[in-house]
């Protein structure tokens, strides 16, 4: 097989997006954590509202690692199973991102911007994953 031929099924844009997503997610996690700390100092943030927000953020961080790993693995090996699993985890992460966008205790404007960017990245990723799975299966 010759590289960069239509016989290569791995999706390059998806791979680029995985890298970008990984770096962006680190920035997103640190920024959101810093903003939650800021909110707890400036506004009245009782403990039983703070706990769910922090739990969602850390859960998302925990899910991100297998998500990206499975996605990369599936894409490079041209296997649809890990990629499908990664797609499922992505849907979960999207729900958590929507929580941080709309159902947090205090949603700052910066929160909205960052979460919207993350959601758009997830959406694009999901689309590309579906296309890659279709290419692998057929």
Partner 1 sequence: PTDARNAAQARARSAPAPVTDVARLCVCDLLVAQCDTNCCCDPDCSPEDFSLFTTCSVPVVTGDSHLCSQKAAVYSLDVEANPPERIFKLIDQVNPSIFCIHATNYKQALYLKSPEMPTPENFDELLSKFGSSGFSAEPESWNMDTGVPNPPDANETYRYEYGVPIQTEDAFLRLPSPVVSSWCSDANPAGFLVNQATKCIRSVSVEKCDSIPALNMLFYTNSSILAFVFQVNVSVQSIVVQSLNGMRTLLKGDDVLKLPVILDELCLNVVLGVSYHITYTDTGEITEAAAAFVLGAITKEELSVQQSFQISFTQVNTKPVPLSGNPGYVVGLPVRAGFRPKEYPFPVEFVTDKHSQLTILHSTPSQDCLAAQGARAPVLFGYNMISGCKLRITVGMQCQPVSQTLLDVLKGQSFPEYVASFGNSQAQDVLDWVPITHLHISEQRIPTTLQSSCQIPVSLGIEVNWTKYGSLANPQARIVNVTATLTTTTLRQLPSGRERIIPVTSSVVFTDISAPAEPGYKAWPTINIKLPFDFFYPFV
| Residue 100 vs 132, nearer CB to partner 1 | 100
How many chain residues bind partner 1 (CB under 8 A)?
18
> What contacts 22, CB < 8 A, 6 or more positions away?
64, 68
Position 113 contacts partner 1 (CB under 8 A) = yes
Q: How far apart are the first and last CA of the chain?
A: 18
CA distances from 84 to 19, 60, 77, 100, 138 (A): 18, 18, 13, 25, 15
Position 102 contacts partner 1 (CB under 8 A) = yes
Position 36 contacts partner 1 (CB under 8 A) = no
Position 19 contacts partner 1 (CB under 8 A) = no
Query: Considering only residues 104, 122, 133, 136, which one is a binding residue for partner 1 as defined by CB under 8 A?
Result: 104
Give the nearest distance from C-beta 64 to partner 1 in angstroms: 24
Please give the residue ranges that form the binding site for partner 1 (CB under 8 A). 35, 38, 42-44, 49, 102-113
């Amino acid at each position: 097989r010759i590289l960069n031929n239509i016989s290569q099924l791995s999706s390059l844009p998806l791979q680029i997006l995985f890298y970008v997503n990984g770096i962006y997610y680190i920035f997103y996690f640190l920024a959101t954590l810093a903003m939650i700390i800021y909110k707890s100092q400036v506004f009245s943030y009782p403990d039983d509202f703070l706990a769910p927000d922090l739990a969602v953020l850390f859960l998302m961080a925990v899910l991100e690692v297998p998500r990206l790993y499975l996605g990369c693995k599936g894409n490079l090996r041209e296997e649809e199973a890990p990629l499908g699993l990664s797609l499922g985890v992505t849907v979960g992460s999207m729900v958590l991102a929507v929580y941080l966008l709309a159902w947090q205790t205090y949603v700052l404007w910066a929160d909205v911007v960052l979460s919207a960017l993350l959601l758009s990245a997830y959406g694009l990723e999901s689309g590309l994953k579906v296309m890659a799975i279709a290419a692998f299966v057929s």
